[in-house]
Homo-oligomer: A and B are copies of this chain.
């Protein structure tokens, strides 16, 4: 089935949010809290204060609404990552900031958790915005690390692409461990682990 996002469900920052907009926001919340399979259209509607009709008017079913919500989540995530980088100067600070828990880590990564969902993984339309967001983040990490190399904070022979993937993986994995331990301690531990290595690997001057 070919899923399309929406039928002009309304802009994000409008005055009075349309039902379509409310539905997107509710779907965003529920995807994060319960994943895709675990979220029922009925509950999205209830949370948005909308009926069945509104949802099927704006979106082509559950998948279409989820797609719109995913795209929104990807934008939010990119904005947050960017913010963490511009607020810091030093490379190690930026890495630590990227790995810092944001208070709701036991809920999992809003996008990463969807990858583990069978219904999402089996639907290319639903995977695409997730893959694109991660590609963007990986690219952003690479740029940030290249910056560090140029400023002499990382060794000149650093494989920035590999390191970017490593840091990305650490954050994703820490989410899983945090959920398992019901604590954000794994985030702190993993940050210590990678920081200690990066410190020790620092170029001598």
Interface of A toward B, CB cutoff 8 Å: 34-35, 37-38, 108, 112-113, 115-119, 121, 127, 130-131, 134, 155, 158-159, 161-177, 179-181, 186, 189-190, 192-194, 196-198, 200-201
CB distance from A118 to the nearest CB of B (A): 4
Number of copies: 2
Residue among B38, B173, B175 making CB contact with A37, cutoff 8 Å: B38
Main secondary structure of the interface of A (DSSP, over half): helix
- Seed contacts A34-B118, A112-B176, A173-B174; 5 additional CB < 8 Å A-B pairs: A35-B117, A116-B116, A162-B196, A173-B175, A176-B176
Please determine whether A127 and B193 come into contact, CB atoms closer than 8 angstroms.
Answer: no
Give 26 A-B contacts (CB < 8 Å), ordered by A residue: A35-B116, A35-B117, A38-B118, A112-B176, A115-B176, A127-B180, A159-B192, A159-B193, A162-B190, A162-B192, A162-B196, A165-B177, A165-B193, A166-B189, A166-B192, A166-B194, A166-B197, A167-B193, A169-B172, A170-B170, A170-B173, A172-B173, A173-B174, A173-B175, A173-B176, A176-B176
With a cutoff of 8 Å between Cβ atoms, the chain B residues found around residue A192 in the complex are: 159, 162, 166
